């Protein structure tokens, strides 16, 4: 057996390790199975310390960021919690946190890019994003020189910055519309010769990279937590935490119970909540104006991987999970409270998770002595601005999602920019 194999959870058949779908057509998220059943962290930088449970054969040394897990004091005391751990993903020098895009999407980008390098794949990588994922892939492509097409909603363009002065490997296209419109455009381009998609939730490298949040938390706590809180858009982060937890149970050293997933979305733009409730609360959870006026529109995904085998529904059911709908006022209060007590700024999406934890305490969904992991999926951006020069990524093109020639226009500008 190689370091890992990739299997379909429906039929159990081993798949090509780079495949995104089951060869027999099952609607499943393929899953990695590692030769090493007990994880021993390596003496490697950043995320690569969990090398044995990442689907890569080598590393990108510059990918030195990883989750920093610490036991909360001030914020935990405010909520009356005695065993709250914060999994911080971002920039916070005092905590040795060095995720230089200030988002846990770095955990996805580096393993995904490493696999592309291992294939010696010279095609243009295509990434659709509402901002954070695009920033992370831009960061890794500026390091490796891999050509990259970013397709983002025009309202998300302000999130596209990097620490690198040279952004020549990147072509940025903004789309009039939302994240789903950007995905549709990106998928059409990615299907053409000379382009390759990063795969989204179907990519095992992305999910296992995000799963290192749980790995870091458990190795810090020395046990699996009872509860795991995260804000979600597609819900892939919740799936990743569940998958990592299953591996940790098989490891045998950290407990036998899966952490209960507590996943939060921003009302009234919460498709996952509508799906989880069987569409009985659609009017309350999904507004026709979405994602306008959201506290953080990176959390809006019209077609999340909910019903696929191994998707969000399965993760929630397997863990006895809950979903939370958080309005803007609750998110703003939560962000202000956390930043004041923990003394670090956090991204708006993280505030949704903080608000969910506050609600869980108020509704007594958890006991105050329970072990809890709160995933701060992004933070330290204001702290980074104080220490570093940020360079905006200038769009190369703006298109309408309804432009029948959008695909051809993008291919043409790629040809011009990258001399293809």
The structure's pTM equals 0.96
CATH class of 68-103+205-384: alpha beta
Where do the DSSP E strands lie in 189-307? 195-197, 227-231, 260-266
- Say if CB 308 and CB 29 are below 8 A apart: yes
The pLDDT value recorded for residue 289 is 83
pLDDT in tens, the chain (420 residues): 589 999 999 999 999 999 999 999 999 999 999 999 999 999 999 999 999 999 999 999 998 899 999 999 999 999 999 999 999 999 999 999 999 999 999 999 999 999 999 999 899 999 999 889 999 999 999 999 999 999 999 989 999 999 999 999 999 999 998 888 898 999 999 999 999 998 999 999 999 999 999 999 999 999 999 999 999 999 999 999 999 999 999 999 999 999 999 999 999 999 999 999 986 666 678 888 888 889 999 999 888 999 999 999 999 999 999 999 999 999 999 999 999 999 999 999 999 999 999 999 999 999 999 999 999 999 999 999 999 999 999 999 999 988 889 899 999 999 999 986
Report the alpha-carbon distance of residue 157 to residue 200 in Å, rounded.
Answer: 20
pLDDT at 179: 83
What three-state secondary structure class fits 239?
helix
> Which helix (H) or strand (E) covers residue 152, if one does?
strand 148-153
- State residue 130's pLDDT score: 86
Q: Where are the beta strands (DSSP E) in 203-305?
A: 227-231, 260-266
Ramachandran assignment for 293, one of left (phi > 0), alpha (psi -120 to 50 degrees), beta (any other): left
Q: pLDDT value at position 1? A: 55
CATH 3.40.50.1100 range(s) for the chain read 68-103+205-384, 124-193+390-418
Q: 261 near 316, Cβ under 8 Å?
A: yes
C-alpha–C-alpha distance, residues 285 and 277, integer Å: 10
288/370 Cα distance (integer angstroms) = 39
What pairing do the DSSP bridges indicate for beta strands 227-231 and 260-266?
parallel
pLDDT for residue 281: 66
Q: Quick one: pLDDT at residue 399? A: 93
* Domain 124-193+390-418 coded CATH 3.20.20.70: no
- Whether omega before 116 lies within 30 degrees of 0, making that bond cis, reads no
């Amino acid at each position: 057996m190689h370091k890992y194999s990739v299997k379909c959870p429906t039929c159990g058949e081993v798949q090509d390790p780079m495949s995104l779908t089951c060869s027999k057509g099952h609607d499943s998220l393929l899953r990695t199975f590692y030769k090493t059943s007990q994880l021993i962290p390596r003496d490697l930088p950043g995320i690569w310390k969990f090398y044995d449970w990442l689907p890569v054969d080598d590393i990108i040394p510059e990918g030195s960021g990883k989750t920093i897990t610490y036991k909360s004091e001030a914020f935990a005391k405010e909520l009356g919690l005695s065993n709250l751990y914060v999994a911080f993903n971002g920039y916070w020098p005092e905590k040795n946190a060095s995720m230089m895009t200030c988002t846990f999407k770095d955990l996805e980008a580096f393993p995904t890019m490493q696999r592309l390098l291992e294939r010696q794949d010279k095609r243009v990588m295509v990434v659709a994003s509402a901002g954070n994922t695009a920033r992370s892939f831009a960061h890794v492509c500026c390091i490796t020189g891999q050509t990259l097409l970013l397709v983002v909603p025009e309202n998300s363009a302000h999130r596209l910055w990097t620490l690198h002065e040279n952004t020549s490997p990147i072509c940025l296209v903004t789309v009039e519309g939302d994240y789903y419109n950007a995905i549709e455009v990106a998928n059409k381009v990615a299907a053409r010769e000379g382009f390759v998609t990063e795969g989204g939730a179907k990519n095992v490298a992305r999910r296992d990279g995000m799963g290192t949040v749980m790995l870091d938390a458990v190795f810090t706590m020395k046990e699996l937590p009872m509860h795991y809180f995260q804000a979600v858009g597609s819900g892939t982060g919740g799936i990743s935490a569940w998958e990592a937890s299953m591996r940790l149970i098989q490891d045998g050293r950290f407990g036998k119970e899966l952490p209960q997933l507590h996943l939060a979305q921003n009302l009234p733009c919460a498709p996952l909540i509508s799906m989880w409730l069987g569409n009985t609360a659609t009017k309350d959870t999904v507004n026709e104006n979405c994602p306008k006026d959201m506290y953080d529109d990176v959390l809006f995904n019209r077609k999340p991987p909910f019903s696929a085998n191994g998707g969000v529904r399965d993760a929630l059911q397997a863990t006895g999970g809950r979903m939370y709908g958080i309005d803007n006022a609750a998110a703003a209060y939560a962000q202000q409270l956390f930043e004041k007590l923990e003394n670090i700024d956090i991204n708006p999406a993280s505030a949704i998770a903080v608000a969910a934890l506050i609600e869980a305490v108020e509704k007594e969904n958890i006991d105050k002595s329970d072990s809890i992991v709160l995933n701060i999926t992004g933070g330290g951006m204001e702290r980074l601005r104080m220490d570093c020069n940020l360079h905006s990524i200038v769009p190369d093109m703006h298109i309408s999602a309804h432009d029948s020639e959008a695909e051809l226009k993008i291919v043409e500008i790629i040809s011009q920019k990258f001399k293809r």
